């Protein structure tokens, strides 16, 4: 191997045209880092926001910056002889960017605690596009909401990246799942396990839902038709609303307190935990969780992928083949 690698790089914030390609230093490994040769990655809304100067862009202190938060690939170098993942192992995982350079590159350096064995049932593209959205859904459905049999859960944007995992997880853990989406995605949501589906363009969900719900997983906020605020109307006393997109509903806590103080409200941050990815891989291999790919692009067409995600109507995930 040489000391350089090919990567997609950003040298200034802006539109998708700032995504360029160059040879950059190959990442080094230190402490518990593992070097992984990337086969595939995914594009998420946070990638698009950060590239444009929003998202976590304020934490990027040097250019060029390599985008990408998730990946699947093959271990190239382990930190020590008995480390959990050794050269040749097929893995998938998530990076904490911008603390680490991103995954739109030939190699990534990542702590082994953020890795898991790649699901055998998934292609490289599917596995590479799974970690961020599935971990976000897990953090909301399992860790925060502790969804269980008998609960009623409303998932907004149920056909999107996080949403389509959240619907499957809530269904797996026994909840009665209600999901909003456009009309073209309603049958898709039923296939994922949704018990009720609502066409948000032609129906007001607060008018359709007649029995209060225990949990709302809000993947929209108030940036579109005050979805977050309207969700308070369908929550039971003592219910929980979880708002995921950063900055999408900054007045949430004040509004909840003024509307119904018994309702609990929380934002959400996720941690790239390999132990959870191991469970997600098990669910995938036993047929209880799947990654739907709306499209797959080669790395050279990453700008097209970013534009598609920015448009906001992706069903499931967008994958990038790096190899």
Write the pLDDT tens digit of every residue in 80-111: 999 999 999 999 999 988 888 999 999 999 99
In order of their start, the domains of the chain are: 4-130+291-321 (3.90.180.10), 133-266 (3.40.50.720)
Buried b (16+ CB within 10 A) or exposed e, 3-25: eebebbbbeebeebebbeeeebe
pLDDT band at 323 (very low <50, low <70, confident <90, very high): confident
Q: 99 exposed, middle or buried (CB, 10 Å; 0-12, 13-18, 19+)?
A: exposed
Write the pLDDT tens digit of every residue in 30-75: 999 999 999 999 999 999 999 999 999 999 989 999 999 999 999 9
Which token pair is 96? 């904490």
Write the pLDDT tens digit of every residue in 282-315: 999 999 999 999 999 999 999 999 999 999 899 9
Query: According to the model, what pLDDT value does residue 99 have?
Result: 85
Which token pair is 111? 């702590």
Query: According to the model, what pLDDT value does residue 140 have?
Result: 98
Percent of the chain whose pLDDT exceeds 90? 94
Percent of the chain whose pLDDT exceeds 70? 99
Query: According to the model, what pLDDT value does residue 2 have?
Result: 59
CA dist 113 and 98 (Å) reads: 18
Write the pLDDT tens digit of every residue in 171-215: 999 999 999 999 999 999 999 999 999 999 999 999 999 999 999
- Asked whether the predicted pLDDT for residue 222 surpasses 60, the reply is yes
Average pLDDT, the chain: 96
Q: Say which residues have a Cβ less than 8 Å from residue 106's Cβ, sequence separation at least 6.
A: 5, 6, 7, 26, 37, 38, 322
Cα dist. 205→21, 54, 239 in Å? 44, 30, 17
Query: According to the model, what pLDDT value does residue 118 have?
Result: 98
Query: According to the model, what pLDDT value does residue 127 have?
Result: 98
Q: What predicted TM-score, i.e. pTM, was given to this entire model?
A: 0.96
């Amino acid at each position: 191997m040489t000391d350089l690698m090919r990567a997609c790089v950003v040298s200034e914030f802006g539109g998708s045209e700032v995504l360029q390609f160059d040879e950059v230093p190959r990442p080094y490994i230190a402490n518990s880092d593992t070097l992984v040769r990337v086969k595939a990655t995914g594009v998420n809304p946070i990638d698009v926001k950060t590239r444009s100067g929003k998202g976590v862009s304020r934490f990027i202190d040097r250019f060029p910056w390599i985008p990408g938060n998730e990946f699947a690939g093959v271990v190239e170098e382990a930190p020590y002889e008995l480390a959990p993942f050794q050269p040749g192992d097929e893995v998938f995982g998530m990076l904490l960017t911008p603390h680490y350079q991103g995954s739109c590159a030939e190699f990534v350096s990542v702590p082994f605690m953020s890795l898991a064995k790649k699901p055998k049932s998934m292609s490289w593209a599917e596995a590479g596009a799974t970690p961020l959205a599935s971990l976000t859904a897990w953090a909301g459905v399992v860790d925060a909401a502790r969804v269980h049999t008998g609960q009623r859960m409303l998932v907004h944007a149920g056909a999107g990246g996080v949403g389509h995992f959240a619907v499957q997880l809530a269904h797996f853990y026994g909840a009665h799942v209600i999901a909003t989406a456009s009309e073209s995605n309603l049958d898709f949501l039923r296939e994922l396990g949704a018990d009720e589906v609502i066409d948000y363009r032609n129906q007001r969900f607060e008018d359709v839902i007649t029995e209060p719900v225990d949990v709302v997983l809000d993947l929209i906020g108030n940036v579109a038709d005050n979805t977050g605020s309207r969700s308070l109307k369908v929550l039971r006393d003592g219910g929980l609303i979880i708002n995921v997109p950063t900055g999408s509903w900054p007045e949430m806590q004040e509004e909840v307190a003024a509307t119904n103080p018994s309702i609990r409200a929380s934002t959400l941050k996720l941690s790239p935990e390999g132990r959870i990815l191991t469970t997600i891989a098990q669910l995938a291999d036993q047929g209880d969780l799947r990654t739907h790919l709306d499209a797959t692009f080669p790395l050279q067409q990453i700008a097209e992928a970013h534009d598609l995600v920015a448009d906001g109507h992706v069903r499931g995930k967008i994958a990038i083949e790096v190899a």
